[in-house]
Structure 1
Amino acid sequence: MPAIVFDLDGTLVDTESQWDVVRRALAREAGIPWPEGATQAMMGMSTPEWGAYLAEVVGFPYGPEESARRTIAGMVEHYREGVALLPGALDAVHRMAERYPLAIASSSPRLLIDTFLDVMGLTDVIRVSVSTEEVERGKPAPDGFLRACDLLGVAPTAAVAVEDSTNGIASALAAGMAVVVVPPHFHPPSAEVLSLTTVIDSLDDLTHELVDGITPAAT
């Protein structure tokens, strides 16, 4: 039986742009210009990685840990105002749970993952969650997806990753997983990257038939 491992930001929750808003606001407060390419570079990084990037590359004056803390505090405030689910997200999770074990492998901090699961009533639906701050390397390295598959007790080749970002796709492919992508309007992956995946228009198109058709272990 296949397993499904969802990304969170940009896949289930419309927060990729909000991370950018929070970080850019902190940069403005510090009087620092936002470097070209910084947004894309941090997509998929673990918390320690993007905290270091903000301090060392963007130039935040707080140090890596404080840069991360201030950013996460801004995101927690955003979550408390209401989780902005992407179209079809909740239905897709429940639909997949009817047949497959589910996990989340996200670059979000543990606090935000747990807040999402609690607010959306999914703590008993999604069996496993992994933050890449809990593994050695963030996306595009495969560590988070590999850990999720391990906790689910399935081989990565029997699992499907549901992703949106270039780094997330690279991470799942490096883990040996099939990848389903809903390309975002916010910094979508290139056509070359998408050619390595199964592209759907929305999570409404994530069906049992689709999953079974792209997981060799299931056929």
Structure 2
Amino acid sequence: MTPDRILSWTPAAIVFDCDGTLMDTERHWEVARELTASDFGVGTEPDFARRAKGLHYTECGVLMAREAGRPELAGRLTERLLSSFRTLAAETPRTMPGARELVANAAKFAPLAVASNCPLEVVEECLVTADLRRYFDHIVVPDSATRPKPHPDVYLAAARYCGAAAAETLAVEDSHCGVQAATRAGLRVLGVGPWPGEETAAMVDLWVAALDEPRIFEWASERVARRLRG
């Protein structure tokens, strides 16, 4: 990792992942996967949660069905996953530590976007509930022309919509799947969350335990001050 590539740099745009990065919703996906598997009486491998983290929910449903030896259940598992997640997320919305402060500061010196594997309406609901939607110029999610993470499409599109070159754009991510997408798109990457292991950490420019780390707050505040000085 090369922290100076982040901490001594001012990006032309910043693109945030949503689940587990801005919103404390990754736990809801974990519970939704457990409930769905239990409801359908299907089992998964012990490390399923790790491998499913960050995947598009449809891919998660397919993976769950395949590992259970019930590929015909993929569609129903996917529907139940999303339904359970939306219920859980609506009940206890919460932002990740430092996310609100970083977003508010970052919006003062760079255009912001969200790149997520979740459906657009789910991302919108989360950001509106958390009073974060107003800071983001664009939300990019997979569609018929945009492949989900770990493909680079959502990050390439987000940078383009912000009017920035990929190499001048910062991605903020918490999962191996998302980090793969951002690095394949050519963005610099700030990783956040529990230590992900050497494989993922080696792909990012800087990994922090949380967005409320003092050096991240200081980095953003310094760039706001520079912008105000003109």
TM-score range, shorter chain: 0.7 to 0.9
Which of 201, 208, 211 is the aligned partner of 1:200?
208
- Distance of 1:52 and 1:200 partners within structure 2: 32
| Preserved contact between residue 27 and residue 60 of structure 1 (Cα < 8 Å) | no
Please say if 1:84 is aligned against 2:90.
no
| Preserved contact between residue 169 and residue 188 of structure 2 (Cα < 8 Å) | yes
- Could you list the per-position Cα deviations for residues 143-192 of structure 1 after superposition, in whole angstroms to 9, with x for gaps in the alignment? 111111122221111100001111111111111010001133xxx42124
Aligned to 2:186: 176
Matched ranges for 1:136-147 at <5 A: 136-147=146-157
- Could you list the per-position Cα deviations for residues 120-157 of structure 1 after superposition, in whole angstroms to 9, with x for gaps in the alignment? 22332111111235654322211111111122221111
Aligned to 1:217: none
Q: What SS does structure 1 have at the residue aligned with 2:46?
A: coil
Q: 1:86 to 1:71 in 2, by over 3 A?
A: same
| Preserved contact between residue 140 and residue 170 of structure 1 (Cα < 8 Å) | yes
Offset, 1:49: 1.9
Aligned to 1:191: 198
- Could you list the per-position Cα deviations for residues 26-65 of structure 1 after superposition, in whole angstroms to 9, with x for gaps in the alignment? 1112222222332222222223322322333345676333
- Distance of 1:53 and 1:136 partners within structure 2: 20
Please say if 1:155 is aligned against 2:155.
no
| Preserved contact between residue 142 and residue 154 of structure 2 (Cα < 8 Å) | yes
Matched ranges for 1:26-175 at <5 A: 26-59=36-69, 63-133=73-143, 135-175=145-185
How many matched pairs? 210
Q: What SS does structure 2 have at the residue aligned with 1:181?
A: strand
Offset, 1:105: 0.6
- Distance of 1:4 and 1:212 partners within structure 2: 16
- Distance of 1:7 and 1:161 partners within structure 2: 8
- Distance of 1:138 and 1:192 partners within structure 2: 21
| Preserved contact between residue 13 and residue 84 of structure 1 (Cα < 8 Å) | yes
| Preserved contact between residue 192 and residue 211 of structure 2 (Cα < 8 Å) | yes
Offset, 1:88: 1.0
- Distance of 1:190 and 1:108 partners within structure 2: 25
Offset, 1:207: 4.4
Q: What SS does structure 1 have at the residue aligned with 2:118?
A: coil
| Preserved contact between residue 149 and residue 156 of structure 1 (Cα < 8 Å) | yes
| Preserved contact between residue 43 and residue 167 of structure 1 (Cα < 8 Å) | yes
Which of 15, 20, 31 is the aligned partner of 1:10?
20
Larger radius of gyration: 2
Q: What stretches of structure 2 of length at least 5 have no aligned partner? A: 1-10, 224-230
- Distance of 1:176 and 1:82 partners within structure 2: 35
**Identity percentage of aligned residues:** 30
Equivalent AA in structure 2 for residue 190 of structure 1: G
